[in-house]
Amino acid sequence: AAGITHALLFNACIAMMVVCYLAAYIADPGSIPAGWTHSLLEEPSWERKSDGGMRACSKCEHEKPPRSHHCGMLGRCVLRMDHFCPWVGNTVGAKNHKYFIQFVFYTAVSLVYAVVLYVMRIRAAMHSKSVRFFFPAKLRMHRRDRSSLSQSSRQHLLETNDSLSLPRLQF
């Protein structure tokens, strides 16, 4: 029952990660509305150029709202542009920032959950009676050394070095 619960929770995290990834990939990051001007906006002085004029994009030749920047990958100005994310394959802006943050969150949760499940599985195997131990370094002898050992000596090596070796899971 615990295994089914873990599988459902892990797959739910992965599903949410994929949904948020697709939303961040598909969603338009937001562009400056057509005909937008600074006339209705009361900007603080730090949003103006040093000569007191309004900010304008040097590539698009349009006035820029606060926190907007030109994206070279999209070829236009993006509202509240954060960055172009090569992992998502899209620019992160005003309209897809939420999906990007959710994607990063669910990716981190899935990764941590996978590591916790892995550690739990290894710990359970270490304390299990069905784990067989072996010591591969003793078994990798030179050919001439192996040929000189009798069958009973080989068996003795396997039996005496079991407690010194790493676990090998057998199912």
Q: Which residues are catalytic?
A: 85
Q: Which amino acid is residue 30, in one-letter code? A: G
Q: Which of 50, 88, 92, 90 is nearest to 67 (CA)?
A: 92
Measured from the Cβ of residue 132, the count of other Cβ atoms closer than 10 Å reads: 10
Collapsed DSSP state (helix, strand, coil) of residue 166: strand
Q: Which of 15, 63, 17 is nearest to 41 (CA)?
A: 63
Helix (H) or strand (E) holding 168: strand 166-168
